[in-house]
């Protein structure tokens, strides 16, 4: 084994350096696009796949991200069908309608649950991890696990991660401490019933 291969295996955790690290994102709105650029900047992906029901939006986002290639580690960015995403290491679900003013996350349930049900059926047999970001995230994560038939350990939701980050930032700002030094968490369901710990 040559030195370059060993260092590549150490860096990526892969035995075969020809294997591509693939991340797929379904939904290229505000959240999906933010996940896409963060993923590219982190350098953890060789190929980034994008899908949106609005095909022209996904294509435009893929082109914009690909054109910024000189600002992040090398990666291929392209659109893909949901069926092409079953071989990805991670599939991020950022699809669905966002909330309207005065609407609770649970009010989104009927519409977004139908969408997640359709996506989940198409991801049956996915080999990677499914990360659900769409709201209401906790209920949709359970729905995705049920519909896709994947083990629950491979279908995870962001839960109260964003709420925890917001809490730490606000507390840090108020007490003039770096948010990394704040040890607080938000637990429960991401929404109206969450609690600060």
Three-state DSSP class for 195? strand
Sheet holding 47-51, edge to edge: 76-79, 47-51, 22-26, 90-93, 129-132, 155-157
Residue 178 to residues 160, 174, 184: CA-CA distances in angstroms?
A: 20, 10, 13
Q: Whole-angstrom Cα distance, residue 25 to residue 91?
A: 6
Strand-pair category, 129-132 with 90-93: parallel
- Quickly list DSSP for 52-89: -SSHHHHHHHHHHHHHTGGGSS--EEEE--TGGGGG-S
Q: What is the 3-state secondary structure of 2-39? A: CHHHHHHHHHHCCCCCCCCCEEEEECCCHHHHHHHHHH
Q: Within 10 Å of residue 37's Cβ, how many Cβ atoms?
A: 16
Catalytically active residues, by annotation: 190
């Amino acid at each position: 084994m040559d030195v370059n291969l060993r260092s590549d295996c150490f860096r990526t955790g892969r035995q075969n350096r020809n294997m591509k690290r693939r991340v797929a994102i379904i939904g290229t709105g505000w959240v999906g696009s933010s996940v896409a650029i963060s993923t590219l900047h982190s350098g953890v992906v060789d190929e980034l796949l994008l899908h949106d029901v609005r095909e022209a939006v996904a294509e435009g986002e893929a082109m914009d991200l690909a054109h910024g290639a000189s600002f992040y580690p090398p990666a291929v960015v392209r659109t893909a069908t949901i069926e092409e995403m079953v071989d990805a290491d991670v599939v991020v679900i950022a699809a669905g309608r966002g909330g309207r003013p005065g609407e609770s996350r649970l009010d989104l349930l009927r519409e977004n649950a139908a969408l997640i049900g359709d996506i989940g059926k198409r991801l049956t047999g996915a080999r990677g991890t499914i990360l659900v970001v769409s709201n209401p995230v906790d209920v949709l994560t359970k729905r995705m696990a049920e519909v896709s038939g994947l083990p629950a350990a491979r279908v995870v939701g962001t839960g109260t991660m964003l709420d925890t980050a917001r809490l730490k930032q606000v507390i840090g700002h108020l007490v003039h401490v770096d948010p990394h030094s704040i040890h607080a968490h938000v637990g429960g369901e991401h929404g109206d019933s969450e609690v600060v710990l």
